[in-house]
Every structure is written in structure tokens, then in C-alpha cells.
Amino acid sequence: MPETHAEDLEREARAIWAEGAPRPRGPAVVVVMGVSASGKTTAAALLAMVMRWRFQEGDELHPPANIAKMRQGIPLNDADRQPWLEAIAAVIDRWRAQHQSGVVACSALKRQYRKILIGDRPDVALVYLKGSYDLIERRMAARHEHFMPVKLLESQFATLEEPGPEENSIVVDVAKTPHDVVLEILGCLAARERGR
């Protein structure tokens, strides 16, 4: 993460602390999902910073062959994604085994992918960052230094299976600022905790 971006996140985290935002105790892990350019990394990193939890950018766990395919504009298939998802699940399980909390940013576009990441882990919550194609396309076009070209956005939306009610996800509109996205996530996590 670029230093200026990290500084911006730190400033946002201080603002959220100053507002007295709810600080839920759990779940152990939050998976922040959505298509490329939905703001997953920013929201997940800011949430982790506010909660003082571990953070993992899922894209960092892609095998080099996956990154090469995406740079060439070739969409990944399920076989490409399998070792990547298993690597992310291993990070989640390691945190859980060490009694650490963390936030993972991961596209997790299909239900079968989310089953690998979340499955029957009751202490892992799912946050879906939802946005329109037009909004995401504008954001993607404005990004620099990312391996995902704009032309793959269509395949991302085609692959996307939005979480259903059975997945008990928190759905947040990405038209909001990262600050407001994280405040909403914190509020929803706190409300769930109170409802237990």
C-alpha cells in the first residue's frame, strides 16, 4: 500500500475513533468482498486499522500465473482461483487458531468461493461492497498501478453472484465515502453483537 494511502487511512481511522464509532468485539474475521475497484482494499484496511486487527489483501496471495493472466486481460477461471482461495482460507484459519482478529479484502465473487473462505466458520462475517457497473467502471478507469484492466470488469460482473439471505452478509453501498462505509460496517457488526 503506498505510503500516502496509508497516511490517509490513518487520518480516517483517527476521525472514526474521534466520532466514537461502535467497536464490536467480534467476529474473529471479516471478509470484505466485491468486484474490482469497489473499494475492498481501502474499506478493509481502514476497518482493520480502526479495530486494530490484522489485515490481508487477498490479491497479494494470487499465484504469479494468475496475475500474469489478468495483466493480459484474460479472466481467471475456477481452477485458477482455487489455490488462491485456499491460501486466503489458510490465513483466516491461522488467525482463528492464534485467537487473532483480522480483515480480508477478497473479491469472493461466487458462492462456492465464499464457502471456501467462510464455510461453517461462525466467527467469520461477510461484508459485500455493492456498486453499479457505471460507478465501478469510472473508479477502475481512474486507478493506476493495478494489474486488473478495465476490460475485465465486465467478466467480474458476469461472474458475480450477490450474497443471498442465507449468507447473512452486511451489504454496503460503495457510492459512500470509505469513512462512511466503515462506519456502516462497524454499526452493523455492533448491532449483530447486541442481537446475540
How many other CB atoms are there within 10 angstroms of residue 8's CB atom? 15
126 forms beta bridges with: 31
User: 38 pLDDT exceeds 60?
Assistant: yes
pLDDT of residue 146: 52
Q: Cα separations (Å) of 93 from 87, 96, 110, 163? A: 10, 5, 20, 22
Across the range 183-188, mean pLDDT stands at 94
User: 127 pLDDT exceeds 50?
Assistant: yes
57 forms beta bridges with: 105
* Burial class of residue 90, CB neighbours in 10 A (0-12, 13-18, 19+): exposed
Q: How confident is the model at residue 56 (pLDDT cuts 50, 70, 90)?
A: very high
User: 192 pLDDT exceeds 90?
Assistant: no
pLDDT per residue as tens digits for the range 1-30: 444 577 888 888 888 877 877 777 766 899
pLDDT per residue as tens digits for the range 147-177: 556 677 888 899 999 999 999 999 999 999 9
Contact yes or no for 48/185 (Cβ under 8 A): no
CATH of region 29-191, choose from 3.10.310.10, 1.10.101.10, 1.10.1040.50, 3.40.50.300: 3.40.50.300
Strands 29-33 and 102-105: parallel
Q: What is the pTM of this model?
A: 0.88
Kind plus residue range of the DSSP H or E element containing 191: helix 178-195
- Among all chains, which residue has been given the C-alpha cell 505510503? 3
Across the range 56-63, mean pLDDT stands at 95
Gap between the Cα atoms of 61 and 143, Å rounded = 20
Residue of 15 and 106 predicted with greater confidence: 106
Gap between the Cα atoms of 180 and 176, Å rounded = 6
Which range is least confidently modeled, 16-20, 69-73, 162-166, 180-184?
16-20
Q: Cα separations (Å) of 89 from 25, 79, 117? A: 21, 16, 5
pLDDT of residue 3: 46
